[in-house]
Amino acid sequence: MSMLVQFVITGLAIGMIYSLIALGFVVVWKSSGVANLSLGQLVLLSSWFTYSMLVQAGLPFYLGIPLVVIFAIILGWIIERIILRPLIAQPILSLITVTLGLAYFIEGIVVIIWPLSQAYLPRFFPTEPIHIGSAVVTQEYLWAAVISLVLFILLSLYFRYNRMGIAMRATADDQKAVQACGIPVTKIFSRSWMFACVLSAIGGILMSSIGGIRPGLVETGLLAFSVVILGGLDSFVGAMIAGPIIGLVETVGSGYLANFIKWPEIRTVIPFIIIVIVMCIKPYGLFGENRIERI
């Protein structure tokens, strides 16, 4: 029983990190309609960059982490400006394919620059386990969950009150009308990619500070993708709620069910089983935006 509680708590917490990364997908999807299939690679790239800052360059956290965030912002700017902008007004399939190309490109770059198979980041959070009832949970997971939640709240406030945030939501509704207001939509696309990269980077830092940097980090992208499918491609709240669900299913699946089912791979399969089921029942996801239609 205490095992189960432990899996539930870590699952929920790790799922919050998936939510965070998934939010980056939602932002880009909402503002420009592009499905970013390079999330996992962005996570991997920024994790390695963090490694360079904190371990190779030996910078303290208060310098290293802001540098990673700045790196992510620049990365987002470059991706939008150089890769996506020339394709504006091209068929949506080209835009999606180019993010897939980007994914492979990043993976290649990572292998060239960091030819290590795995590495560890310094510990950010206190590691003493916390006792919840009879269950023992590593503190790191709880910190990761708190950070994700705080970022989610900040992001929500940004989209509710900030001039740019409101304009980003407006672009999701009606790109043409936004242009008619004299607003440069390219600036909005650019901003959305910066968000995607920063969120992936923070997700990556959290993931790899807990589990180390491994090529398997790329799978986080797939998990984040299943989060947005479950929560609805265009819903922030959906991503926030679906993340813990996916995390829960994954962790409980791997840890708990594995005791009964002799098939360790079940862990990676479960999220996709969920996706298929959700797609059949609610194609727009649990919280997908209802199209407002007036006659």
Partner 1 sequence: MLKLNNIEVAYLNVIRVLHGVSLKVDDGSIVALLGANGAGKSTTLKAISGLLKTEDGEVTDGSIEWEGKRIDKKNAEEIGKSGIIQALEGRHVFGHLNAEENLLVGAFNRKDSNAIKQDLEMVYSYFPRLKDLRRNIAGYLSGGEQQMLVIGRAMMAKPKLMMLDEPSLGLAPLLVEEIYDIIKRFNTESKTSVLLVEQNVRVALSIAHYGYVMENGRIVLDGTAEFLKNNEDVKEFYMGLSTVGTKKSYREVKHYKRRKRWL
Enumerate binding residues for partner 1 (CB under 8 A): 89, 163, 166-167, 169-170, 172-174, 176-184, 289, 292, 294
CA neighbor of 246 nearest in space, from 39, 30, 17, 3: 17
For partner 1, give the closer residue by CB, 69 or 170. 170
CB of 25 to partner 1, least distance (A): 18
For partner 1, give the closer residue by CB, 34 or 68. 34
CB of 224 to partner 1, least distance (A): 23
Q: Alpha-carbon distance 218 to 16, whole Å?
A: 17
For partner 1, give the closer residue by CB, 118 or 179. 179
CB of 127 to partner 1, least distance (A): 43
CB of 182 to partner 1, least distance (A): 2
DSSP 228-294: HHHH-TT-HHHHHHHHHHHHHHHHIIIIIGGGTSS-TTHHHHHHHHHHHHHHHH-TT-TTPPPPP--
Amino acid at 177: A
Amino acid at 240: M
For partner 1, give the closer residue by CB, 67 or 183. 183
For partner 1, give the closer residue by CB, 82 or 89. 89
Q: Alpha-carbon distance 104 to 100, whole Å?
A: 7
CB of 135 to partner 1, least distance (A): 41
| Contacting residues for 103 by C-beta, under 8 A, at least 6 apart | 37, 38, 40, 41, 221
| Contacting residues for 283 by C-beta, under 8 A, at least 6 apart | none
